[in-house]
Amino acid sequence: MTTPADDKTAAGHCAELVRAQDFTRYASTLFVPPPARRALLALYAFNVEICRVHSQVSQPLPGEIRLQWWRDMLVGSGHGGVEGNPIAAELLLAIRSYRLPVERLSRLIEEHQFDLYNDPMPTMAALEGYINDTSSTLFSLAAAVMGPPSGDVQHLARHAGLALGLVQVMASLPLDASQRRLFVPQQVLAKHGCGPEDIFAGKQTPNLRGALDDLFGEARAHLGAAVTLLQSVAPDIRAAFLPLAQVRRDLDLLARADNDPFVARSPSRFRTLWTLWRASRSRAFSG
């Protein structure tokens, strides 16, 4: 049996993990009511845990085993030790409290199997499918914590996730290139006369810039659609989409003509807080 002190410790563990590993999402939870904030942090901590499996293993098999543990935990089988896992405990509480669809969480885990293998992303459709089942799913689940689901919310979550996911691909390019991981679709590279080695070389060329500009264009289109769709959902639900404010800022910086895509940037946490605070008070997010 867990005690209130155990619950507080588990919730604090999730909050600290998200603060350290996914500051934008952490900061976005500061502008929602405490009960919803706890559930959001559980979701985001779970996402961090799944996303970082690939960096914690040197071979795919141990990573597959870790991901299988989470799948088993979600369906209630073979989950010994859940009581000692604060992220699992908090996630299960969020699922029960807000009736979150377990199948969406399981699909998120399955999609991140791709991360364990250094296979290149083949097509734009494949990248969009990957993002839809990861980033868009996370927006959809966060929205379900904030209010009742609807077709409009799902449509918004899809575009929001694609905008954020595409920007994350570009923001992660320096690290991914150094590790010979390729999320920029081969199809897009080939269209501009490039290949994976152009990415791995870490040197910008006019052709490569054209390929990256295509991704920036897609991200802008999805972000524009998401911002428009925000007005079609209830104001209480819009807080789940606050990370979009940071997506817009990151996209503007990354897409600048003088930005070197292979130089890693360390975003200012203060500026992130400022960006999200301003957004939380704007008509777009508050109604």
pLDDT value at position 153? 97
Q: Give the mean pLDDT of 207-214.
A: 96
Q: What is the pLDDT of residues 153-200, one digit of tens each?
A: 999 999 999 999 999 999 999 999 999 999 999 999 999 999 999 999
Q: What is the pLDDT of residues 114-130, one digit of tens each?
A: 999 989 999 999 999 99
Tokens of 62: 């141990």
pLDDT value at position 77? 63
Domains and their CATH numbers in the chain: 1-113 (no CATH), 118-287 (1.10.600.10)
Name the pTM for this structure. Answer: 0.94
Contact between 204 and 211 under an 8 Å Cβ cutoff? The reply is no
Residue 175: alpha-carbon gap to chain centroid:
17
pLDDT above 90 covers what percent of the chain? 91
Greater pLDDT, 166 or 287: 166
